[in-house]
Amino acid sequence: MQLFKERISFLVSSKLKIKEDLISLIEIPPDQKLGDLSLPCFNLAKTLKKSPVEISKSLSELSDIYFSKIEAKGPYLNFFINPTILSSIVIKEILKQKAKYGSKDIGKKESVLIDCSSPNIAKPFSIGHLRSTIIGYSLYKIYNFLNFKAKTLNHLGDWGTQFGKLIVAYKKWGKEAELKKAPIKHLLEIYVKFHKEAELNKDLEEEARKAFSQLESGNKQYLKLWKKFSEESKKEFNKIYKLLDVKFDYTIGESFYIPQLESTLKILSPLLKEDNEATIVDLSQFNLPPALIKKSDGATLYVTRDLASLLYRINKLKSKRLLYVVGSEQSLHFEQLFSICKLLNLKVESHHIKFGLIMLPEGKMSTRKGNVIFLEDVFNKLEELASEILKEKGLSSNKKETAQMIATASLIYADLSNDRVNTITFDWNRVLDFNGNSAPYIQYTNARALSILNSGFVNNSGFVNNSRFVKGATLTKQSPDFSKLIHPKELTLIKHLSLFQEKVIQSYQSNKPHVIANYSHELCQIFNEFYHECSVLKSQKDLKDARLSLVKAFTIVLANAMSLLNIKLPKKM
């Protein structure tokens, strides 16, 4: 729709002899009977010193080949797009641009660093880590699609007081044989036991604080244990990232910044104050509690290490925009961190991309209580269920590969189809639903469209009856007659295809991938309505050619949308 918005802006600006860009004012009417696009004239009334109704009425005299009708409705100027122009422009543009359709040079190669995933060492990669990973990776793809120079950073939680707890727990209850057999599960067991015992014995917490302080001071025995915990954790994380098809440009643990803490504290020195033997930064001017920089025992804290990390990202990684994809529970932390940046006059744009929790039906997940869902177990169960469904439906010649693709896509889409700020209750039925707003529904719709294309026949439009068309065969100079596409379901599908770029930009502006996810679902619904009412392969030749082009355009746009969500589409199901 962007092209038509630009056309409206040009027509109106030329008629009124003004230089204003009106594109941002143009909207889609709530009812298609009112038109395809509408220009509210309220803002123009301020400029022209006339009533919006009067302006709208005067502009209704406009005429243009792009629009079959332009009419005033009170203060609104409504535009009805010429169906032939719509079909020809939209479908040709999609077939020409292919994987680039919907992109736009918004970023101008500006550097963006996206902090996402960031699991904690020596803890299982639970489904609770999923949101940061896939939201962040989707944003990475969206930003690069809009020509930013985006990179991902996995900020591993490999330092902090929890390692004091683990060291104490391992010394008391750890077993070398169990650690070798199932390292992460054994570490979780002793971590949970520590917190249960600490409720009865308060001295354990103090013992853990001392152990972490000694770790920071370079205790060789503790460092050896810490390295062992780290190595085993990374092995598990990498298995999950492979399943999700997620890659990082940088993987840096908190421990990396320990040598930089002294220089960070020097930079902070003008802001530092002593408070009950601890070192703080007073943030009262921002209506925030003080940021604790060092404890009374000299141990550093999360905000200190995050500030060292932020300085590294600005100075060494040359990032101009920082996105932290971290749960809403950390909101205060980032408010404090960004406020310190303001006090230091750091030249960087920082954003906390917050998201809600994933809840079990019985309540919030907690590593301390052992109340977690292991993500690898989720994948295995989803793949098993997907295989059963494929067998029941008699689908797919390659069930193993397809089931894996469906399992991964289902997990990703069940998350990304939700507004990231919302809390999600993990629901097996919703995660693997072959109907409704789900990945399998979208994957099956795409497979249906590809099947139609594979059944096409060679003719003067260049269609072929094999997978070459699906892989990107192009039309010859003699393009189909798009004026044949006049059925309401055809026009509705074409209009929705034309909205893709706007949805991508909305997703970028809000940092919310669910905009693209829900657009994709709506697109599939509209395609299926078209499929049921408009026969493609049984149509007469000219109409068939035009409809095959429309189906091809649909598969291109859907593939582009799913790519931005990091979801794969099986060619057959």
Q: Convert the pLDDT of each residue in 300-344 to its tens digit.
A: 788 999 999 999 999 999 999 999 999 999 999 999 999 999 999
User: What is the structure's pLDDT at 371?
Assistant: 61
Is 388 a domain residue?
A: no
Q: State whether 419 and 536 are in the same domain.
A: yes
b/e sequence 17-52, b meaning 16+ C-beta within 10 Å: eeeeebeebbeeeeeeebbbbbbbbeebbeeeeeeb
Q: State whether 131 and 51 are in the same domain.
A: no
Residue 484 has pLDDT above 70, yes or no: yes
Tell me the CB-side half-sphere exposure of residue 474, using CA atoms within 13 A: 9
Arithmetic mean of pLDDT, 466-486: 62
Residue 370 has pLDDT above 70, yes or no: no
Q: How far is CA 286 from CA 188, 252, 329, 428, 429, in A?
A: 39, 30, 19, 43, 45
Is 439 a domain residue?
A: yes
Residue 360 has pLDDT above 80, yes or no: no
d(CA 466, CA 472): 11
The CATH number for 15's domain is 3.30.1360.70
One-letter amino acid of 193:
K
Q: Hey, how many other C-beta atoms are within 10 angstroms of the C-beta on 400?
A: 11
What mean pLDDT, rounded, does the chain reach? 90
Q: State whether 486 and 532 are in the same domain.
A: yes
The CATH number for 235's domain is 3.40.50.620
User: What is the structure's pLDDT at 126?
Assistant: 75
**Residues 70-79: pLDDT tens digits?**
999 999 999 9
Is 545 a domain residue?
A: yes
Q: State whether 304 and 452 are in the same domain.
A: no
Which of 311-315, 360-364, 508-512 is predicted with the least confidence, judged by mean pLDDT? 360-364
- Per cent of the chain over pLDDT 90 is 73
pTM of the model: 0.90
Tokens of 116: 């996402």
Is 214 a domain residue?
A: no
Phi, psi of 9, deg, nearest 5: -60, -45
Arithmetic mean of pLDDT, 22-40: 93
- Indicate the DSSP class of residue 119: P
Is 96 a domain residue?
A: no
pLDDT band at 410 (very low <50, low <70, confident <90, very high): very high
Give the H or E element holding residue 375.
helix 375-393
CB 397 within 8 A of CB 572: yes
One-letter amino acid of 214:
Q
Alpha helices in 104-219 (DSSP H): 130-145, 161-173, 176-181, 183-200, 203-216
Is 258 a domain residue?
A: yes
Is 212 a domain residue?
A: no
Residue 397 has pLDDT above 90, yes or no: no
- 542 or 434, greater pLDDT: 542
Which of 93-102, 177-186, 215-224, 471-480 is predicted with the least confidence, judged by mean pLDDT? 471-480
Give the best-scoring range by mean pLDDT among 12-21, 120-129, 242-251, 355-364: 242-251
Residue 506 has pLDDT above 70, yes or no: yes
Domain housing 33: 2-81
**Residues 142-183: pLDDT tens digits?**
999 999 999 999 999 998 888 999 999 999 999 988 888 888
Arithmetic mean of pLDDT, 98-107: 97
d(CA 485, CA 103): 26
CB 439 within 8 A of CB 412: yes
User: What is the structure's pLDDT at 395?
Assistant: 76
**Residues 234-280: pLDDT tens digits?**
988 999 999 999 999 999 999 999 899 999 999 999 999 998 888 99
One-letter amino acid of 481:
D
Q: State whether 338 and 447 are in the same domain.
A: no
Phi, psi of 153, deg, nearest 5: -130, 125
pLDDT band at 468 (very low <50, low <70, confident <90, very high): very low
pLDDT band at 363 (very low <50, low <70, confident <90, very high): low
d(CA 505, CA 217): 48
One-letter amino acid of 261:
L
Q: State whether 440 and 497 are in the same domain.
A: yes
Sequence-separated (6 or more) residues with CB below 8 Å from residue 444: 434, 573
Q: Which residue, among 129, 196, 89, 30, has the nearest Cα to 479 in the 3D structure? A: 89
User: What is the structure's pLDDT at 469?
Assistant: 40
CB 254 within 8 A of CB 305: yes
d(CA 139, CA 354): 13
Arithmetic mean of pLDDT, 109-120: 96
Is 173 a domain residue?
A: no
Q: State whether 323 and 432 are in the same domain.
A: no
Q: What residues form DSSP beta bridges with 350?
A: 322
Q: State whether 328 and 414 are in the same domain.
A: no
User: What is the structure's pLDDT at 366?
Assistant: 57
Three-state SS across 499-556?
Answer: CHHHHHHHHHHHCCCHHHHHHHHHHHHHHHHHHHHCCCCCCCHHHHHHHHHHHHHHHH
d(CA 56, CA 50): 10
Q: State whether 77 and 120 are in the same domain.
A: no
Instruction: Give the CA radius of gyration of the chain.
Output: 28
User: What is the structure's pLDDT at 463?
Assistant: 44
What sign has the CA pseudo-torsion 309, 314, 318, 322? positive
The CATH number for 534's domain is 1.10.730.10
From 32, 59, 81, the end of a domain falls on 81
**How many structural domains are present in the chain?**
3
pLDDT band at 416 (very low <50, low <70, confident <90, very high): very high
- 127 or 326, greater pLDDT: 326
Residue 89 has pLDDT above 50, yes or no: yes
CB 79 within 8 A of CB 8: yes
- Alpha-carbon torsion angle 365, 368, 369, 372, nearest 10: 40
Q: State whether 352 and 488 are in the same domain.
A: no
Give the H or E element holding residue 307.
helix 302-315
User: What is the structure's pLDDT at 467?
Assistant: 36
Tokens of 496: 């929705």
Q: Which residue, among 317, 334, 325, has the nearest Cα to 151 in the 3D structure? A: 317
User: What is the structure's pLDDT at 377?
Assistant: 79
Q: State whether 291 and 142 are in the same domain.
A: yes
User: What is the structure's pLDDT at 277?
Assistant: 86
Q: State whether 124 and 273 are in the same domain.
A: yes
